[in-house]
Structure 1
Amino acid sequence: MIDIDPSGILVRYNVKMEKEMTPEEAAEELYPKDSIIYPIAKAIFEGEEDDVVEGLEKAISSGKDPISLIDDALMVGMGVVTKLYDEGIIFLPNVMMSADAMLEGIEYVKQKAGRAPVVKGKVVCHVAEGDVHDIGKNIVAALLRANGYDVVDLGRDVPVDEVIAAVEKENPLMLTGTALMTTTMYAFKEVNDKLLEKGYKIPFACGGGAVNQDFVSQYELGVYGEEAADAPKIADFIREHGGNIVKLREKFHKH
Structure 2
Amino acid sequence: MTRLDIDPSEILVRYNVKLEKAMTPEDAAAELYPKDALFREIAVAIFDGEEDDVIEGLEKAIKAGKNPIALIDDALMVGMKVVTDLYDQGTIFLPNVMMSADAMLDGIEFCKSQSDETPVSKGKVVCHVAEGDVHDIGKSIVAALLRANGYEVVDLGRDVPVDEVIDAVKAEKPILLTGTALMTTTMYAFKAVNDRLLEAGLNVPFACGGGAVNQDFVSTYELGIYGEEAADAPKIADKILAGSSISALKEEFHKH
Closer/same/farther in 2, CA of residues 14 and 126 from structure 1, 3 Å limit: closer
Q: Deviations over 1:173-196 (max 9, x none)?
A: 000000000000000000000100
Corresponding position of 2:5 = 7
Alignment of 1:198-237 (within 5 A): 198-237=200-239
Alignment of 1:21-170 (within 5 A): 21-170=23-172
CA distance in 2, matches of 1:182, 1:216: 13
Q: Deviations over 1:25-70 (max 9, x none)?
A: 1111211121111100000000000100111111111111111111
The RMSD of aligned alpha carbons is 1.8
Closer/same/farther in 2, CA of residues 4 and 183 from structure 1, 3 Å limit: closer
Closer/same/farther in 2, CA of residues 61 and 158 from structure 1, 3 Å limit: same
Corresponding position of 2:177 = 175
Q: Which has the larger radius of gyration?
A: 1
Closer/same/farther in 2, CA of residues 57 and 5 from structure 1, 3 Å limit: same
Corresponding position of 1:248 = 249
Corresponding position of 1:19 = 19
CA distance in 1, matches of 2:142, 2:166: 19
CA distance in 2, matches of 1:85, 1:208: 18
Once the two structures are TM-superposed, the CA of residue 18 in structure 1 deviates from its matched residue by: 2.2
% identity of equivalent residues: 72
The one-letter amino acid paired with 2:27 is E
Q: What is the TM-score when the length of structure 1 is the normalising length?
A: 0.94
Closer/same/farther in 2, CA of residues 101 and 5 from structure 1, 3 Å limit: same
Once the two structures are TM-superposed, the CA of residue 22 in structure 1 deviates from its matched residue by: 1.3
The one-letter amino acid paired with 1:245 is I
Identify unmatched segments of 5+ residues in structure 1: none
The one-letter amino acid paired with 2:74 is D
CA distance in 1, matches of 2:68, 2:113: 9
CA distance in 1, matches of 2:3, 2:128: 69
Question: Larger deviation: 85-94 or 110-119?
Answer: 110-119
The one-letter amino acid paired with 1:248 is L
CA distance in 1, matches of 2:5, 2:233: 55
Closer/same/farther in 2, CA of residues 13 and 200 from structure 1, 3 Å limit: same
Count of residues in Structure 1 that have an aligned counterpart in Structure 2: 252
Q: What is the TM-score when the length of structure 2 is the normalising length?
A: 0.94
CA distance in 1, matches of 2:39, 2:5: 50
Among 185, 194, 202, the residue aligned to 1:192: 194
SS of the residue aligned with 1:117? coil
Closer/same/farther in 2, CA of residues 99 and 32 from structure 1, 3 Å limit: same
Identify unmatched segments of 5+ residues in structure 2: none
